[in-house]
Amino acid sequence: MRLLPKASAELARAAPVALAARVLAALAVGAAPVAVAWLTRQAIDRLTEHQVSAAEVPLIALCLFGAAAATAQYLGVYADRELGRRTAQHALGRLFGAVVAPVGVAELEDPGFQDRLRLAQQAATGGNALLAQQFIGGAQSAVTFVGFLVALLPVSPLSAALVLASAVPAVVAQARLSERRVQVQSQVSPQLRRQVFYSSLMLDPRAAAEIRLFGLGPLFRGRMVSELTRSQQQERTVDRATLRVDSLLALLTGAVSAAALLVTAARVGQGREPVGDLVLLMAALAGVQGALAGLVSQIGGVGPALALYGHYDAVVGARPVPGPAPEPSTAGGMPGPLHTGIQLRDVWFRYHSDQEWVLRGVTLSLPAEGSVALVGLNGAGKSTLVKLLCRLYDPQLGSITWDGVDLRELDPAALRRRIGVLFQDYTTYALTVAENIAVGEVSTLPGAERPDTDGGARVRAAAAAAGVDTLVAGLPDGYGTMLSRTFAATSTAARRQERRGGQPVAHPGAGPDVGRTGVALSGGQWQRIALARALLRRDADLLILDEPSSGLDAEAEQQVHARLVELRARRTSLLISHRLSSVRQADRIVVLRGGRIIEQGDHDSLMRSGGAYAELFRTQAAGYQLAAAEPSGGAGR
Ligand SMILES: Nc1ncnc2c1ncn2[C@@H]1O[C@H](COP(=O)(O)OP(=O)(O)OP(=O)(O)O)[C@@H](O)[C@H]1O
């Protein structure tokens, strides 16, 4: 409940007018049944006393009230929807602002944070509006409840007291159930996350081939349903308890109402009370019961809705998650162009405090304008080292310096602008070719805040440097080709509409899903697009390429490497590759094993020393020689 003022302030900021309209409508709708019952009683009393003309005023007022209440009801529905739209817009904007704000990525990899994020998203998309609905709905029911209690008092003080007394245990029981609901909500979160994982996997076109080939469909479907069943079992337990409490409440208030009605009917029969009292009592008892049922169910709903808001508040409040690697700091100066180089000194790093060290005392220098290649077996820590250089994580021990200044003292965004990087697990965006390359330097994107007038030319130059220009020339819309079949359906529909004489839909620089044919690229083609993205920062001081040619055919690999040797000649570079033939030209080759540097030097000196690198190189070379020496099969068989 301590979050209630904060949540209310957030709702008031997001949709002040809709919130005010919703509150006013709720108060009017809440008071209307009481006013209607009171006016009905007035009219009936006048009529039974044969004062027909005196009954006209309450009768007309009754009609006006009915119309006003109905209007207020419609206004409430509209205000509710508007509140939902505006709070979702406001909350999703804030939430995703907070999600992309951290400098590092450790928080996003934390399963606890993922659970919290899922709940926070639920709050942002509907939960916050639901909280308002529950709370305002509760206020509306409270107005009706109190109004009828006040109206009941003069007619039947005993039944008013009994109704009030029966409300207390109901409210207490609902408050307890609400707490259980909140507990269940966070208990089932991991199960729901897994359920979402299995369902998205089955919907993912990239996973479709393996799922079909290995016959994984029934397995994943079964697991999805079983996760859902387990989470539903827990929810069902609370729902059953709620049903028991609500039924008891209904029985209790039913018994109170029956007793009060029988007593009052007898008094009216004896002429000791006017008929209008019986009418008011009947309306009041029905109204009180309905309002009480609404009130307790809304009290039951406020708890879970507030708990959801709590998760949202924790994410937008950017409270760090304990456990994972620490979040890189944001403060710092601007790094200048690299003059002397980058130095790693006794760097120790692990992803989580309960995991093994991945880097164990790495000391390494990347001299300005020098080329360093990093090699080693799977899991040696090569990509991790790249992530530390980009400050996606900070080392727990040791330091990394840029011209002698610790990276932690530099502004991360400014540092990253000085780095061009191709990650091993690069991203494939469902955007056009041009946009897929231009995301490497936001200013080259059409519609950027501060656009680079030379953006298009830079994108084409990067594509040429990555050897992807010929491929792009052959695509249906060249650089405007959408690299996704998923969005192509929209495009096809849009084209059809255009052909039928509708509004033209294809514009250069328009949204990616408009009027364009989508194509699916091969793995190697995607890799070259991602390489072009990395090369877009032509002035980057540091170029990092993590397995830039792992998916390329032999010819493309040779072309790309020839270009990369040229490009790397004028800047500081770090190349990671399992293909040792592509690293031999590097000024220095560093061999990493188990998070430690075990040897370094140029190709010739490492070959002469006959260590791990020489062994790896000879093994690869022997593989090629063996393949070349094998007699070709086929014709003779
Ligand atoms: N995000 C992460 N969270 C936890 N552990 C991780 C994460 N990323 C990598 N690791 C672990 O760190 C170790 C080193 O991984 P890394 O990707 O740096 O190796 P690598 O040398 O690049 O391997 P490869 O040659 O296979 O690409 C591995 O044991 C891996 O399991």
Question: Using a 6 Å CB cutoff, which residues line ligand 1?
Answer: 109, 351, 358, 376, 378-384, 424
Inform me whether the pLDDT recorded for 24 exceeds 70.
yes
Q: Are 24 and 83 in contact (CB under 8 A)?
A: no
Q: Which of 167-171, 271-275, 383-387 has the highest mean pLDDT?
A: 383-387
Q: Please report the pLDDT score of residue 513 as a whole number.
A: 43
CA–CA distance, 144 with 291 (Å, rounded to integer): 6
Q: Which amino acid is at 276?
A: G
CA–CA distance, 168 with 358 (Å, rounded to integer): 59
Ligand 1 atom with least separation from CA of 595: 14
CA 288 to ligand 1 centroid distance, Å: 64
CA 109 to ligand 1 centroid distance, Å: 13
Inform me whether the pLDDT recorded for 509 exceeds 50.
no
CA–CA distance, 273 with 270 (Å, rounded to integer): 8
**Cα four-point dihedral sign 16, 18, 24, 27:** negative
Sole residue written with tokens 């000391």: 363
Q: What is the pLDDT of residues 512-521, one digit of tens each?
A: 444 456 888 9
Q: Please report the pLDDT score of residue 629 as a whole number.
A: 62
**Cα four-point dihedral sign 278, 284, 287, 292:** negative
Please indicate whether residue 553 or residue 319 has the higher confidence score (pLDDT).
Answer: 553
Q: What is the pLDDT of residues 482-496, one digit of tens each?
A: 998 776 545 445 555
CA–CA distance, 430 with 129 (Å, rounded to integer): 31
Q: For 156-188, where are the alpha helices, taking DSSP H only?
A: 157-187
Inform me whether the pLDDT recorded for 635 exceeds 50.
no
Ligand 1 atom with least separation from CA of 381: 18
Shortest-distance Cα residue to atom 5 of ligand 1: 351
CA 378 to ligand 1 centroid distance, Å: 8
Shortest-distance Cα residue to atom 17 of ligand 1: 383
Mutate to test the pocket of ligand 1, among 349, 355, 384, 390 (most ligand atoms within 8 A of CB): 384
CA 425 to ligand 1 centroid distance, Å: 11
Cα-trace Rg, the chain: 35
- Tally of CB atoms within 10 A around 545: 26
Ligand 1 atom with least separation from CA of 380: 21
Q: Please report the pLDDT score of residue 263 as a whole number.
A: 82
DSSP state at residue 630: S
Inform me whether the pLDDT recorded for 85 exceeds 90.
yes
Shortest-distance Cα residue to atom 12 of ligand 1: 358
Shortest-distance Cα residue to atom 25 of ligand 1: 378
Q: What is the pLDDT of residues 289-306, one digit of tens each?
A: 788 878 877 887 888 888
Q: pLDDT grade, residue 373 (50/70/90)?
A: very high
CA 379 to ligand 1 centroid distance, Å: 5
Inform me whether the pLDDT recorded for 161 exceeds 50.
yes
Helix axis angle for 455-465 and 523-535, nearest 10°, is 130
CA 610 to ligand 1 centroid distance, Å: 27
Average pLDDT over residues 90-108: 87
Ligand 1 atom with least separation from CA of 376: 21
Pair of tokens at residue 77:
């529905």
Shortest-distance Cα residue to atom 24 of ligand 1: 378
Q: What is the pLDDT of residues 409-428, one digit of tens each?
A: 888 888 998 999 999 999 99
Helix or strand (DSSP H, E) at 344: strand 341-349
Q: Which residues pair with 547 in a beta bridge?
A: none
Average pLDDT over residues 335-360: 92
Inform me whether the pLDDT recorded for 269 exceeds 70.
yes
Shortest-distance Cα residue to atom 9 of ligand 1: 384
Inform me whether the pLDDT recorded for 537 exceeds 70.
yes
- Tally of CB atoms within 10 A around 209: 9
The Cα angle at residue 266 between residues 263 and 267, in degrees rounded to 5? 90
Inform me whether the pLDDT recorded for 382 exceeds 50.
yes
CA 126 to ligand 1 centroid distance, Å: 38
Shortest-distance Cα residue to atom 30 of ligand 1: 379
Q: pLDDT grade, residue 393 (50/70/90)?
A: very high
Q: Are 185 and 119 in contact (CB under 8 A)?
A: yes
Inform me whether the pLDDT recorded for 435 exceeds 90.
yes
Distance of CA 558 to CAs 273, 362, 466, 606, Å?
Answer: 103, 31, 12, 23
CA 400 to ligand 1 centroid distance, Å: 19
Q: pLDDT grade, residue 625 (50/70/90)?
A: low
Q: What is the pLDDT of residues 563-577, one digit of tens each?
A: 777 777 778 999 999
CA 533 to ligand 1 centroid distance, Å: 23
Pair of tokens at residue 477:
């819309």
CA 381 to ligand 1 centroid distance, Å: 6
Residue 553 exposed, middle or buried by CB count within 10 Å (0-12, 13-18, 19+): exposed
Shortest-distance Cα residue to atom 18 of ligand 1: 381
Q: Please report the pLDDT score of residue 637 as a whole number.
A: 36
| Cβ partners under 8 Å of residue 623, min gap 6 | none
CA–CA distance, 60 with 43 (Å, rounded to integer): 10
Q: Please report the pLDDT score of residue 512 as a whole number.
A: 42
Shortest-distance Cα residue to atom 31 of ligand 1: 379
Average pLDDT over residues 150-169: 77
Distance of CA 500 to CAs 488, 495, 503, 506, 515, Å?
Answer: 18, 9, 9, 14, 14
Q: pLDDT grade, residue 329 (50/70/90)?
A: low
CA–CA distance, 151 with 38 (Å, rounded to integer): 8
Q: Please report the pLDDT score of residue 514 as a whole number.
A: 45
ipTM: 0.98
Q: Are 445 and 512 in contact (CB under 8 A)?
A: no
**Cα four-point dihedral sign 22, 25, 31, 32:** negative
CA 485 to ligand 1 centroid distance, Å: 31
Strand pairing class (596-601; 371-375): unpaired
3-class DSSP state of 367:
strand
CA–CA distance, 120 with 92 (Å, rounded to integer): 9
Inform me whether the pLDDT recorded for 264 exceeds 70.
yes
Shortest-distance Cα residue to atom 7 of ligand 1: 351
Nearest CA-CA partner of 288 in 41, 82, 34, 87: 34
Q: pLDDT grade, residue 503 (50/70/90)?
A: very low
CA 111 to ligand 1 centroid distance, Å: 18
> Among 119-123, 220-224, 325-329, 611-615, whose mean pLDDT is lowest?
325-329
Inform me whether the pLDDT recorded for 139 exceeds 80.
yes
Q: What is the chain's length?
A: 637
Please indicate whether residue 136 or residue 263 has the higher confidence score (pLDDT).
Answer: 136
Instruction: Please state the φ and ψ torsions of residue 350, each to the nearest 5 degrees.
Output: -140, 155
Q: For 454-553, where are the alpha helices, taking DSSP H only?
A: 455-465, 469-473, 488-499, 523-535
Instruction: Note the Cα 337 to chain centre separation in Å.
Output: 36
Q: What is the pLDDT of residues 454-490, one digit of tens each?
A: 888 999 999 998 889 999 999 988 999 999 877 654 5
Ligand 1 atom with least separation from CA of 377: 25
Q: Which residues pair with 410 in a beta bridge?
A: 333
Q: pLDDT grade, residue 331 (50/70/90)?
A: low
Distance of CA 147 to CAs 38, 163, 217, 501, Å?
Answer: 10, 13, 58, 61
